[in-house]
Amino acid sequence: MSNLLCNALQRLTAIGLFALLTCNLANAAPSHSMKGPRPVIWSDFLGMNAQLPWFPENTYRQQISKLKELNLHWVRLGLHWDRLEPSPGQWQLHELDRLMQVMSDEQLKPLVYLVGSAPFASSAPNGVSNADQYPPINAQLFASSFSYLANRYPQVSAWQVWNEQNIPSFWQPAEDPAHYRNLLETSLQQLSSTQPTATQVIGGHAYYSQMPLRGGLMLEALLQQGSLKPDRVTAYHPYTQTPEGDVPASGDFLSNAGTLNQHLRRNGSGPIWATEFGWSSYAGPVEMQPIIGELGQADYMLRRLALMSAMDFDKVFLFTLSDLDARATVRDRSYGLLRLDGSEKPAYGALKRLLQITGPQLTPLTPPAFANAPQGMISIAWQRSDGRWLWLFWAQEAGTVRLLRNGQGTLHNPLHGTEQSVRATGGGITVNVSRELQILLL
Q: Are residues 42 and 91 in the same domain?
A: yes
Cα distances (angstroms) measured from residue 10 to each of 4, 18, 25, 176: 10, 10, 12, 20
Examine the fold and report which residue of 317, 340, 359 is the final residue of a domain before the chain moves on: 359
Determine the average pLDDT of the residues in 213-233.
Answer: 97
| Residues 389/367, Cβ–Cβ less than 8 Å | no
> What pLDDT, on a 0 to 100 scale, did the predictor assign at position 13?
33
Q: Where are the beta strands (DSSP E) in 199-280?
A: 199-206, 234-237, 272-274
Q: Are residues 355 and 380 in the same domain?
A: no
Domain count of the chain?
A: 2
Examine the fold and report which residue of 359, 387, 406 is the final residue of a domain before the chain moves on: 359
Dist. CA 382–CA 39, nearest whole Å: 9
**Lowest model confidence (mean pLDDT) among 22-31, 59-68, 218-227, 308-317:** 22-31
Q: Are residues 97 and 212 in the same domain?
A: yes
Confidence of residue 30 (pLDDT cuts 50, 70, 90): confident
Burial 40-70 (b: 16+ CB within 10 A, else e): bebeebbbbbbbbeebeeeebeebbebbeeb
Q: What is the pLDDT of residues 42-62, one digit of tens each?
A: 999 999 999 999 999 999 999
3-state secondary structure of 419: strand
Residue 6 has pLDDT above 60, yes or no: no
Examine the fold and report which residue of 324, 341, 359 is the final residue of a domain before the chain moves on: 359
Q: Are residues 388 and 326 in the same domain?
A: no
Cα distances (angstroms) measured from residue 128 to each of 117, 133, 251: 13, 10, 41
Q: Are residues 392 and 264 in the same domain?
A: no
Q: Which domain holds residue 307?
A: 2-359
Cα distances (angstroms) measured from residue 206 to each of 171, 196, 214, 253, 324: 12, 27, 14, 14, 20
Q: Are residues 275 and 376 in the same domain?
A: no
CATH number of the domain enclosing 387: 2.60.40
Q: Are residues 390 and 351 in the same domain?
A: no
Confidence of residue 21 (pLDDT cuts 50, 70, 90): low
Q: Are residues 178 and 324 in the same domain?
A: yes
CATH number of the domain enclosing 130: 3.20.20.80
Q: Are residues 89 and 168 in the same domain?
A: yes
Quote the crossing angle between the two packed helices 139-152 and 177-194, to the nearest 10°: 30
Q: What is the pLDDT of residues 384-402, one digit of tens each?
A: 999 999 999 999 999 999 9
* Strand 315-318 versus strand 46-49 pairing type: parallel
Q: Are residues 257 and 140 in the same domain?
A: yes
> What pLDDT, on a 0 to 100 scale, did the predictor assign at position 2?
36
Residue 148 has pLDDT above 70, yes or no: yes
Q: Are residues 193 and 222 in the same domain?
A: yes
Residue 3 has pLDDT above 90, yes or no: no
> What pLDDT, on a 0 to 100 scale, did the predictor assign at position 10?
40
Q: Are residues 332 and 402 in the same domain?
A: no
Residue 15 has pLDDT above 70, yes or no: no
Dist. CA 197–CA 199, nearest whole Å: 6
Dist. CA 73–CA 103, nearest whole Å: 10
